[in-house]
Homo-oligomer: A and B are copies of this chain.
Amino acid sequence: MPDWEDLRHFAAFAREGTLSAAARALGVDHATVARRIVALEASTGLKLVDRRARTTTLTDDGRRIATAAAPMEEAAFAVGRAARAAQPGVDGEVTISAPPTFASAVIAPRLIQLRQRHPGIRIKLIGEKRRASLSRREADVALRLLRPVESGLFVRRLGSFGFSLYATPAYLKDTPPHAFAFIGYDATMADSPQEVWLRTIVGDREVVLRTNDLETQIAAARSGLGIAALPHYLGDGDACLQRHAVTQRPIRRDVWLLVHRDLRQVPAVRAVMTFLGECMNGG
């Protein structure tokens, strides 16, 4: 029977692709990963990786073993969730993953309420576009704008938010509508509902800035560069910006709350779920 730590390091290597990346993911030195793989090769009697100068790649046997080891990682995460689920009380750390602006504009300002209600809860708030994997426990709770299809997850629709056009009052006052300049997403977000909606408004007018970062759009709009389509939770709270009404049908996007089934009943996680619901609807 191989050493399970060897398997853990090897599985990380197989997933990450390089010794260094695996070492970073595991929080150890790359030399450790390399030596663990050597040990696994010795104990299995198989050559698992090709060591070429500067690159280390899986052999066919390595791929086979990695495939067999993947369920172990799966099971290890299940153990982690079971351990988390067994924690008594509402104390503990809960990791929330949410879209960046949602995290900073909606969740973060209200965290003080959660803290007052449950002093024992420590929050780790990750604003990221890349979707955190709940089954890998990169996050305990996640907010997403698309209903996910992964299995093993509990999904609830928390509510929705709308978009409007925003610019500085001065810009809207001085610029005739036919001369409006717009600020929008770049190609990577071309299919997002708000971008499609914006296109119907823009027509053949000019888009002077395309960026994938919403904060950048806000900064540009604030400076008087043009008009941006922003979610209400961002635009309405910004003293420098003012809504501009349009005749097009307004657009809304749903917010989905995700939590792994195994963690759904954990008191601290439930408290966070309640809190996030209030962020959307109540306070």
Contact = CB atoms under 8 A, between A and B. Distances in A.
A45 interface: yes
B72 A68 contact: no
Interface in A66-115: 67-69, 71-72, 74-83, 85-87
Nearest to A81: B68
Contacts of A46: 83, 86-87
A261 interface: no
Contact of A2 (B61, B64, B83): B83
B79 A45 contact: no
A8 interface: yes
Contacts of A161: none
A219 interface: no
Copies in the complex: 2
A204 interface: no
A65 B79 contact: yes
A65 B84 CA distance: 10
14 contacts: A1-B76, A1-B80, A3-B5, A4-B5, A4-B72, A4-B76, A5-B5, A7-B76, A44-B86, A65-B79, A65-B82, A71-B75, A71-B78, A72-B75
